[in-house]
């Protein structure tokens, strides 16, 4: 078995699958590791408070899932070969996961591939902004050869990233999103208008509400600002507050029927 001296670090679980296959296609014997956690969601300042908030909200209370996350941090921070870190500043989850990784990494050397301003060409010849590493498929990784753009981050970049994450940790908000002003802290109600725009007086299933909101995000800003799990968690809070109602169930699942109470729709 070959000794792989390059580790590609990606901040999702879907992107590593495509990147790994692309590297194999071009005969690069390099490994890929991905992180399933989401540091764009949940408080940041205290690890135990964060865990108690995030795990039940997103359903992470699972030993196998916990082991995957621990394995990622152990390997990505202690790998003694070349490390190439992939992310996009346009995608909150990738950006926040990278910033937390950078905080824990300290002064260890790594290379970066920032796809924030990168484009890909589809099989139909259309060019569009990547927005997120997770949106790049096997063929696009190969055709664009993004791995050729790996570079050492500038000291000014490192200072700016660390300063930004320190500020966000101090603000300790429940969620972070990307706006025209960059990555910022927000309250969870920042998605309420979008969610409630699809919940009227007629019944609609939760997965349709969430899917429509996520599709709007892609159409309007080119990236998904948060996950379906976070949006469903917010729907649960809206249910608990009496803003929406279900057909007699107290816990919202993907197939739960939702509508606005009559006094909200009159």
- Counting every residue written for the chain, the total comes to 266
Q: Are strands 175-179 and 245-246 parallel, antiparallel or unpaired?
A: unpaired
Prediction pTM value: 0.91
User: CATH assignment of 187-265, given 3.30.420, 3.30.70, 1.10.10, 1.10.3470?
Assistant: 1.10.10
* pLDDT recorded at residue 63: 59
- How far is Cα 138 from Cα 125, in angstroms, rounded to an integer? 16
Compute the half-sphere exposure of residue 22: CA atoms within 13 Å on the CB side of its CA: 19
At residue 161, what are phi and psi to the nearest 5 degrees? -65, -45
Confidence of residue 64 (pLDDT cuts 50, 70, 90): low
Mean pLDDT (whole number) for 220-240: 91
96-140 pLDDT, tens per residue?
A: 999 999 999 999 999 999 999 998 887 778 888 888 999 899 989
Whether the pLDDT of residue 77 is over 90: the answer is yes
Rounded to an integer, the average pLDDT of 179-202 is 95
pLDDT at residue 2 tops 80: no
Task: List the chain domain ranges.
Answer: 6-168, 187-265
**Is the per-residue pLDDT at 143 higher than 80?**
yes
Q: How far apart are CA 43 and CA 51, in angstroms?
A: 9
């Amino acid at each position: 078995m070959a000794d792989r001296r390059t580790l590609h670090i990606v901040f999702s679980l879907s992107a590593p699958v495509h990147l790994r296959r692309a590297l194999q296609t071009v005969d690069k014997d390099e490994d890929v590791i991905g992180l399933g956690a989401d540091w764009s969601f949940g408080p940041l300042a205290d690890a135990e408070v964060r865990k108690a908030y995030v795990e039940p909200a997103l359903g992470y209370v699972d030993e196998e899932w916990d082991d995957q996350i621990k394995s990622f941090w152990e390997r990505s921070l202690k790998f003694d070969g070349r490390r190439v870190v992939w992310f996009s500043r346009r995608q909150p989850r990738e950006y926040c996961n990278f910033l937390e990784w950078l905080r824990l990494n300290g002064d260890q050397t790594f290379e970066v591939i920032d796809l924030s301003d990168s484009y890909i060409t589809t099989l139909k010849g259309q060019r569009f902004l990547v927005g997120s590493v997770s949106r790049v498929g096997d063929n696009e990784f190969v055709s664009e050869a993004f791995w050729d753009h790996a570079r050492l981050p500038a000291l000014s970049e490192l200072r700016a990233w660390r300063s930004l994450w320190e500020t966000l940790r101090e603000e300790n908000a429940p969620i972070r999103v990307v706006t025209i002003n960059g990555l910022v802290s927000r309250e969870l109600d920042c998605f309420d208008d979008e969610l409630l725009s699809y919940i009227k007086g007629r019944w609609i299933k939760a997965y349709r509400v969430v899917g429509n909101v996520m599709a709007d995000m892609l159409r309007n800003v080119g990236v998904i600002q948060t996950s379906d799990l976070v949006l469903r968690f917010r729907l649960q809070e809206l249910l608990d507050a009496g803003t929406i109602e279900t057909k007699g169930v107290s816990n919202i699942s993907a197939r739960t029927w939702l509508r606005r109470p009559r006094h909200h729709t009159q």
